Amino acid sequence: MCSIATPNNAETYSVMLYQGANPPYTIIKDNSSSGIFIDLFNEISNVTPYKFVFKNYPAARALQEFDMGRVDIEPGVNEKWRQNTKILGSFTIPYGVSKEVIVFKKENKIKVNTPKDLYGKTIGVVRGYSYPHYDLPFKENKIKKAINRSEKLLLKQLQADRVKYIFIGYRTIKYYMQQNPQYRNIIIGDVVSQVAVKLRVHPSKSYLISDLNIALEKLITNGKIDDIYKKYQ
């Protein structure tokens, strides 16, 4: 394995966080931030010369900031989710897996094997999020979208019966159910998407890919990434 060394090794790079959208990946309380993404980049800083600053935006705005080159890195993403963006960027090796599920109240229980099972229904989603198997049915209006700014707000809509179904990350719904007793009556349904997650790097910083891959390989091998995920279960 080669060592990390670049002529820009003293630079600081910006990392996008979705503003209030997806704990346990980003948790903002009392002007302090924590979560899987922040812990991950703290560990990357420990094994590279790089430093990182975090920029919080609503999901759709965050993607625009990346397109304009004002954010260098997006964590926890897959190429399939960004095929329709203006700037695709470069991607590191996978370091984890993202599982998205459909969630509902007991009285609205449904089995979802294919997108056709949701034809004619309305699904709550976060603005800017993509679900590749469902993008075409959404576009053709065979499945309707109820768009919101965050998963927290989607859950409130679900509790208030403003929507019957939402798509949400498995780790995220498990976190909310653990932290908030009012969500423990919610049913976690079938998986609607499961893909490997990577870091997406803006083309202007593509020289970072090799070094980030080395860092991620090290953190996977020494168990640090696994420890981060376990911390928020």
CA-to-CA distance for 110 and 124, rounded, in angstroms? Answer: 15
Question: How large a percentage of the chain has pLDDT more than 90?
Answer: 75
Residue 20: the pLDDT is 61
Neighbours of 56 (CB within 10 A): 15
At 52, list the tokens: 């990182």
At 1, list the tokens: 């394995």
CA-to-CA distance for 79 and 59, rounded, in angstroms? Answer: 16
Q: Is the pLDDT confidence value at 1 over 90? A: no
Between 5 and 181, the more confident residue is: 181
| Ordered domains of the chain (ranges, CATH) | 12-96+196-231 (3.40.190.10), 98-194 (3.40.190.10)
Whole-prediction pTM value? 0.83
CA-to-CA distance for 52 and 12, rounded, in angstroms? Answer: 5
Q: pLDDT (tens digit, 9 = 90+) per residue, 28-71?
A: 776 677 899 999 999 999 999 999 999 988 888 899 999 999 99
Neighbours of 182 (CB within 10 A): 11
- 165 touches 117 (CB < 8 A): no
pLDDT band at 229 (very low <50, low <70, confident <90, very high): very high
- 81 touches 132 (CB < 8 A): yes
pLDDT band at 9 (very low <50, low <70, confident <90, very high): very low
Please name the residues in contact with 90: beta carbons below 8 A apart, sequence gap of 6 or more: 200, 201, 203, 206, 209
Q: pLDDT (tens digit, 9 = 90+) per residue, 184-197?
A: 889 999 999 999 99
Q: pLDDT (tens digit, 9 = 90+) per residue, 64-113?
A: 999 999 999 999 999 999 988 999 999 999 999 999 999 999 999 999 99
Residue 127: the pLDDT is 86
Q: Is the pLDDT confidence value at 149 over 90? A: no
